Structure 1
């Protein structure tokens, strides 16, 4: 698809916080919201090449949630016609998560989609150990055709919220040292429950908002609070750059609706 359109599109989801039973905080159905992302993409005509879910798949690692997460990923992949790749977050249970597609033999890996290499890393401990960093260095030693997209839960930066300013990756310098001079064209992350765009060592960093709840940004310097505003991101790579757009699943009443006329093709002029 991207070869024809000139765009490589990633549906970037994060922080699902699925539960074994019931609703999170009595209101949140994380898996149902994954299905709603598929519905949204189809209705909007979005045809992604890949779906990336950057961690906190289950609430506090509830082991009974993972089979349902695996099924939700399968259904989402079928709905949008693209592979679904997942990484683990600090809420996730590495043992229970082995039932997820692509996790039976470990929680890091790589997959090439239309020339882009997507590398998944496991930051369920909040950091990257030496073994993962050595593996990543070996992978990056061989450049991919169109570049490498890194997916992990903890971004190598902090949040602008005072209460979350130290909640990024515990050892960002170690990761960035491995990425220096590599073909990494973007880092996709989650964890903060709010969208964030940054550049670190010239590499774009896109933190997706959460499907579970969105941070109350003015909760104060010593507190975090969430409100029911599920969101995901649409990341698009083109020949000239990359962009990320946060999209809300809520559908408030529009102020107006009007059709958009097709842009007429320019007439050919003969001099």
Structure 2
């Protein structure tokens, strides 16, 4: 199974003339995904689908996906709003008024979690959500499982993107996941960078954004002292491919400019390819 993850689309962001346009960046990303061979089985959009959660932004989102025939599953981020998102994308709640769900396959499960906290930039994950997650994980304890959530539970080193806003959401998530050893990976977004980490013995893959990325600066930042450091950079739109082969899960971090081919499999490369496969 091949899962294409996109995240942090920010449709509706009011870009200035000459700046990157998020509509076009999403279109480039979808074109790159549709051109893959083999094609992904599904696309998972892990939140910040829109910039403000306005109904017209979700309408524009659907217009941009109109020509995409790969199944798409939507998740919520801190820039989204639950009610407009549900109404536009026809998403049922999970019984607790959250945008959470489970995708069931024969030998794999995807548990999609809601980390949206109204008015919060950081994540939220309450006791009701932890109980729901534990019930889902207990239902098929022997089936390999991927958790997907918008916010990263690990600190990536970018100091103005902390994990916690003081509500302890990541601690509740950790406690709910810890007893369930079938969890093979947690995938997320929010940070606008591709990052790999370990979190309580669970591999974490943070997918970079289709919208412009954050600059990597691992020094501390003083919110009261603007220091002219780069914050946002215009790198190519990004996505991730999560591949489950029945035995293990792997992740490829992709960019839309990966198709700038330098070498093709022409006859002069046959010896190189044969040697690589034989030794």
Separation in 1, partners of 2:130, 2:16: 36
Separation in 1, partners of 2:244, 2:230: 33
CA contact (8 A) 2:6 2:46 kept: yes
1:123 partnered with 2:115: yes
The alpha-carbon deviation at position 102 of structure 1 amounts to 5.2
**CA deviation string 1:71-91 (max 9, x = no partner):** 434543x0xx3x211211111
The alpha-carbon deviation at position 140 of structure 1 amounts to 0.8
Question: What's 2:102 paired with?
Answer: 110
CA contact (8 A) 2:58 2:89 kept: no
The alpha-carbon deviation at position 263 of structure 1 amounts to 4.7
Q: Which moved more, 1:223-232 or 1:11-20?
A: 223-232
**CA deviation string 1:89-109 (max 9, x = no partner):** 111111211134452435111
Separation in 2, partners of 1:162, 1:46: 38
The gaps in structure 1 that reach 5 residues or longer are 1-7
Question: What's 1:236 paired with?
Answer: 243
The alpha-carbon deviation at position 226 of structure 1 amounts to 1.0
Question: What's 1:186 paired with?
Answer: 185
Question: What's 2:135 paired with?
Answer: 138
1:250 partnered with 2:257: yes
Q: 1:174 to 1:213 in 2, by over 3 A?
A: same
Residue of structure 1 aligned with 2:8, choices 2, 15, 21: 15
The gaps in structure 2 that reach 5 residues or longer are 118-122, 222-228
The alpha-carbon deviation at position 142 of structure 1 amounts to 1.3
Q: 1:165 to 1:11 in 2, by over 3 A?
A: same
* Misfit runs of 4+, over 6 Å: none
TM-score relative to the length of structure 2: 0.79
CA contact (8 A) 1:213 1:227 kept: yes
Question: What's 1:208 paired with?
Answer: 207
Separation in 2, partners of 1:155, 1:133: 16
Q: 1:241 to 1:252 in 2, by over 3 A?
A: closer
Q: Tell me the SS of whatever aligns to 2:45.
A: strand
1:63 partnered with 2:72: no
TM-score relative to the length of structure 1: 0.81
The alpha-carbon deviation at position 221 of structure 1 amounts to 3.0
Question: What's 1:87 paired with?
Answer: 75
- Cα root mean square deviation, aligned: 2.9
CA contact (8 A) 1:69 1:100 kept: no
The alpha-carbon deviation at position 239 of structure 1 amounts to 4.1
Separation in 1, partners of 2:22, 2:153: 26
Separation in 1, partners of 2:3, 2:141: 17
CA contact (8 A) 2:159 2:218 kept: no
CA contact (8 A) 1:67 1:99 kept: no
Equivalences, count: 252
Q: 1:238 to 1:170 in 2, by over 3 A?
A: farther
CA contact (8 A) 2:4 2:43 kept: yes
